[in-house]
Amino acid sequence: MIDFAHLRRYKENNRIEAKRATGGLPESIWETYSAFANTMGGVILLGVVEKKDKSFEVVDLPDPDGLASEFWKLVNDTRKASVNILTRRDIAVRRSEGRRIVAITVPRADRRDRPVYVNGDPYMGTYRRDGEGDYHCSRETVQAMMMDALEESRDARLLSYLGMESLEERTVKSYRSLMQYLRPGHPWESLPDEEFLCRIEAARETGDGTYHPTAAGLLMFGKEEHILLEFPEYSLTCQEAKVSGGNLFTFYYRVWRKLTELPGMRKERADEEMTMERALRDALANCLINCDYRERGGIKICISPGQIIMANPGSFCMDVDRAKAGGSSDPRNAGLNRMFRLIQVSEGLGAGLARIYSVWQRLGLPEPVIEEQFLPDRIILYLPLETSCLPAVKPVEGNISLRNIFGEKRLQMQTIIEEATRNISVTKQQLSLLPELESCDLSGLLEEMCREGILTRNRQDGEIMYSLRA
């Protein structure tokens, strides 16, 4: 909530935009409306200018009420804006420093309304917010939003060009054995594999009597070479669990086994709802279920005694605050969600993120941090396991500066870890080319990481190579 009595305290950022508007409703307001709606929401202030020192100054608006009425009329005109996601309460005339201004509060649009675009063209009129400005979205980003907007789940598509041989028989067998153990006597227990996979929506029968996997079935049970045919950007990495690639079922359980070995894992009653074990299970499942497997970057899990980091491509399908509150579920991949739910990994009730925050609060740990990145879309969840891992401060809304949270040094170390994960081993020369490491004492940092047991150093073909310690 903005304190309108003290606007000079504010500056433009990814959630606030100031516009003079003394000459009428500025045309650029529509780019900002689209950008806020497609990113994290924000407030547009009319009758406010940003001075050279970046502070705000209130100016005289000739007709604030007229501006508010004009904006409301145009936002309901589909020739100007693709959809109106506002209510009357979101457009208000406020008093600040003795003058009247217009405050327009734009929420984050529901995935079914995105992309929110202007001037009748989704490819030319879709914007997002980055820092203090609005940027035009690429065709690929717009298409990704359109895919998310479909009522049909992302992973429901039938892959008729692939046969059932694209699925790993041993993975299907493992899944069925686990389901039989967890749900003894289930009516699908005795079905042949093809029929069973159809029941869980991992496959479908076509009119010619043949069976083919769905996208969800391929991701869950598929052979990696076939997964890459449908999802060229597909990538799974968890160095600590010694796993890279494979299908989601195998990846999940190998990572989960590693998580259960953490010294900080709380051993609590398994039937309790608010346990660390349950929260971590939710976090890992959410990372896989809500991933956009067509986006760049892949899934990356980093596990240490002090902190867990889970990152996946894709943006939130709903408002982050709504997700934290719990009770709302809108998975990007409903098929995957259903399959994980059958083996009691996911509930599908929208409780996961709310449970994570509640458990961390109950255990007296620093609050988890969610960072949402764009270009490409990416969600990163930081789960501190030690009180010293993160400062005990509530993160700000919107884009979070990692440097503010972790410090420059920790960010540089994380960059080195990611490079060593991707390339197995790296040289100092390779690392020095990375922009994130240009300003650091790289030699000293590598020495420190070796002393702390994060990296190992060895010589290959006359070159010193650095690798993550096994």
Give the tens place of pLDDT for each residue, 254-273.
898 888 887 656 555 444 56
What residues does 271 pair with on adjacent strands?
none
Q: 44 near 36, Cβ under 8 Å?
A: yes
Distance from C-alpha of 122 to C-alpha of 128, rounded to nearest angstrom: 12
Identify the CA nearest to 115 among candidates 139, 131, 133.
139
pLDDT of residue 271: 46
181-193: pLDDT as tens digits:
888 889 998 999 9
For residue 324, count other CB atoms closer than 10 A to its CB.
Answer: 14
Q: Which fold has domain 4-147?
A: 3.30.950
User: What is the mean predicted confidence (pLDDT) over 281-286?
Assistant: 91
Per cent of the chain over pLDDT 70 is 84
CATH 3.30.950.30 in the chain, residues?
A: 4-147
pTM of the model: 0.63
pLDDT digits (tens, 9 = 90+) for 338-360: 999 999 887 655 566 888 998 89
Distance CA(13)–CA(7), nearest Å, equals 13
Average pLDDT over residues 108-120: 90
Range(s) within the chain of domains with CATH label 3.30.565.60:
164-406
The CATH class given to the 410-468 domain equals mainly alpha
- 388 pLDDT more than 50: no
Start-end of CATH 1.10.10.10 domains in the chain: 410-468
CATH number of 164-406: 3.30.565.60
Give the mean model confidence (pLDDT) for residues 119-139. Answer: 90
pLDDT at 215: 95
| Nearest-5° Cα angle at 387, 384 to 389 | 50
pLDDT of 41-97, one tens digit each? Answer: 899 999 999 888 888 999 999 999 999 999 999 999 999 999 999 999 999 999 998
pLDDT for position 391: 36
Lowest mean pLDDT of 133-147, 269-283, 439-453, name the range: 269-283
Helix H segments across 159-247?
169-182, 193-199, 215-221, 224-230
